[in-house]
Amino acid sequence: MDVFNDLGQGILAILSIQNILLLAAGVLIGMVVGVMPGLGPSAGLAILLPITFGLDPVGGIIMLAAVYYGAMYGGTITSVLINTPGESATVASTFDGYPLAKQGRAGAALVMAAVASFVAGTIGAVLISVAAPVTASVASSFGPPELFLVVVAGLLTLIVVVGRNRIRGAISALLGFGIATVGVDVGGGQQRYTFGSSDLINGIDFIPVAIGLFGLGEIFYSLYRGGHLETLGYFNLSARAKGFWPTRSEVRESTGPMLRGSVLGFFVGTSPGAGATVASLMSYSLEKALSKTPKKFGRGAMAGLVGPEAANNGASAGAMVPLLTLGLPGSAATAVLLGGFLIWGLQPGPLLMEQNPEFAWGLIASMYLGNVMLLLINIFCIPAFASIARVPFRVLAPVIVVLCVLGTFTVNGSIIEVGIMLACGVLGFFMRLFGFPVAGLVIALVLGPLAEETLRQTMIISHGSFDIFVTRGASQALLAVIALLLLIPLLPVLRRALARRRAETRREDSADDHERSQV
């Protein structure tokens, strides 16, 4: 009953004209951001974060969250129509979405993707309502040692499980930790790496780094690739056109993948470091394995589009659980949201739902209404959003660069921060170019101060002894998780060693058999 009461209070907290308008604006802006290849939710959130400072925390976070899950669907439009994912989480949507479009089923594909997003978002909101209080109650018993180990486990998940190159992922995370050390030492009060600049005493602000890495970095990389949007003239996206609406057989075919993808995506998203990209690819593999006609996958199977689309939206909802209850971002986009929390003076974690229930439950409640808005806007405004994809990239790029500069400068009116943003834009470009994950740097930058503070507190409590990590039950469980994560890279080595051993055993057995036959 407490869940229903808290959710009811959250609904009342957002039922104002201003919050509803902010929610609608966030969904619309998120859709536009998602339609622009090269941006995605992370860059959109980073660029838009400064404009929410004049809002109250509830309205601001409602708008940013709406941008987040609105952008997740917006990337599907370009994935289906021009085979260009708006961001990595919609890569799996190109596998069958674009073949469906070439078959004249673009409208049906986008409508079913919209329905899958709505179903996954709604299921995710329901699961958040149940899981968040339980997780918060468990995490409320965590002390500094456990919080430090949770941060380490989250970063290891990002580096070991999700990252393609673990060494580069570790370097990105260490770079983020290094940037987080700039400023004043929280323990001794001494300046670190400020180079005598008074502007760096308070550290390097999260906003210019995020805007530079995601906003400018993505633009520079897209310009380097020479990416230009293709024309969409041969797709008839009018709601009155033949084939715009899905058939009954397509709806029946999509029901199972939609539900499976929603649940799978949510639970994958709750793992710190995992995200929508992993969830969507897992869903695609699952649906192909379960399908009676696996040969259709890659050639225009509706289940191959609906499953991953539900999974990436379910993962977006699932990522809110560690964010709200542990203060851990599960992805780059939720790292930007966490930056917004901290700027508004709110510390996500076990006590957030107790100390600021109207904020936490207002955010959860907004997801129910936001998903309804997203469904209606998606279905009836598909042609309008698709037309954005016809805007040449050479027109969009300078507009986005100007927004990045203005957004950074308006936060504190600091030219130094604009310079930091430009430098991070160049850094983001080279990180993308050489395969260093930007998400690892951003998440480490956000979590760096928390890791340093909790480690210092742990050492004070234990009088400098590391035994405290192995004498507490929760710490022991987290150490076991960390040990398993560290063992994952060794599995291929062990598998190859066992294969060589079996091959040697077979050769020895065959040699013995040959000798016996000679005798």
Q: Tell me how many degrees the CA angle 168-324-11 measures, rounded to the nearest 5.
A: 140
Say yes or no to pLDDT of 1 above 50.
no
Q: Would you state the pLDDT for residue 16? A: 79
CB burial class (10 A; 0-12, 13-18, 19+) of residue 511? exposed
Cα–Cα distance measured from residue 415 to residue 408, given in angstroms and rounded to the nearest whole number: 9
Beta-bridge partner residues of 183: 192
Rounded to 5 degrees, φ, ψ at 59 are -65, -40
Q: What is the DSSP string of 191-234?
A: EES-TT-GGGTT---HHHHHIIIIIIHHHHHHHHHT--PPP-TT
Show the tokens assigned to 254.
Answer: 């999509």
Cα–Cα distance measured from residue 502 to residue 500, given in angstroms and rounded to the nearest whole number: 5
Least confident of 147-156, 254-263, 416-425: 147-156
Query: Is 492 inside a domain boundary?
Result: no
Q: Would you state the pLDDT for residue 88? A: 63
C-alpha to C-alpha distances, 405 to 118, 401, 416, nearest whole angstrom = 34, 6, 12
Least confident of 189-198, 235-244, 325-334: 235-244
- Minimal CA–CA distance to 375: which of 151, 120, 174, 194? 120
Q: Would you state the pLDDT for residue 149? A: 82
Reported as a single tens digit per residue, the pLDDT across 34-91 is 776 556 677 777 777 777 777 777 788 788 888 887 877 777 777 777 666 666 667 6
Reported as a single tens digit per residue, the pLDDT across 270-321 is 775 556 777 787 788 888 888 788 788 877 788 888 888 888 888 888 888 8
- Minimal CA–CA distance to 204: which of 214, 215, 193? 193
Beta-bridge partner residues of 192: 183
Reported as a single tens digit per residue, the pLDDT across 364-388 is 788 888 888 888 777 777 666 666 6
Query: Is 475 inside a domain boundary?
Result: no
Residue 436, classed as helix, strand or coil, is: coil
CA-only gyration radius of the chain, Å: 24
Query: Is 121 inside a domain boundary?
Result: yes
State the number of CA atoms in the 13 A half-sphere of 67 facing the CB: 28
Cα–Cα distance measured from residue 392 to residue 190, given in angstroms and rounded to the nearest whole number: 50
Cα–Cα distance measured from residue 503 to residue 519, given in angstroms and rounded to the nearest whole number: 25
Q: Would you state the pLDDT for residue 17? A: 84
Q: Would you state the pLDDT for residue 85? A: 63
Reported as a single tens digit per residue, the pLDDT across 256-265 is 888 888 888 8
Beta-bridge partner residues of 184: 191
Query: Is 155 inside a domain boundary?
Result: yes
Q: What percent of the chain has pLDDT over 90?
A: 1
Terminal CA-CA length for the chain: 82
Rounded to 5 degrees, φ, ψ at 191 are -75, 140
Say yes or no to pLDDT of 3 above 70.
no
Q: Would you state the pLDDT for residue 427? A: 92
Cα–Cα distance measured from residue 272 to residue 79, given in angstroms and rounded to the nearest whole number: 26
Query: Is 156 inside a domain boundary?
Result: yes
Query: Is 243 inside a domain boundary?
Result: yes
Quote the mean pLDDT of the chain: 77
Query: Is 485 inside a domain boundary?
Result: no
- Minimal CA–CA distance to 80: which of 104, 117, 114, 110? 110
- Minimal CA–CA distance to 38: which of 220, 211, 308? 220
Tally of domains in the chain? 1
Least confident of 169-173, 306-310, 488-492: 488-492
Instruction: Look up the domain containing 53 and give its range.
Output: 2-469
Q: Would you state the pLDDT for residue 229? A: 47
Count other Cβ atoms within 10 Å, centred on residue 292: 5
Tell which phi-psi region holds residue 197, choosing left (phi > 0), alpha (psi between -120 and 50) or beta.
beta
Cα–Cα distance measured from residue 519 to residue 63, given in angstroms and rounded to the nearest whole number: 84
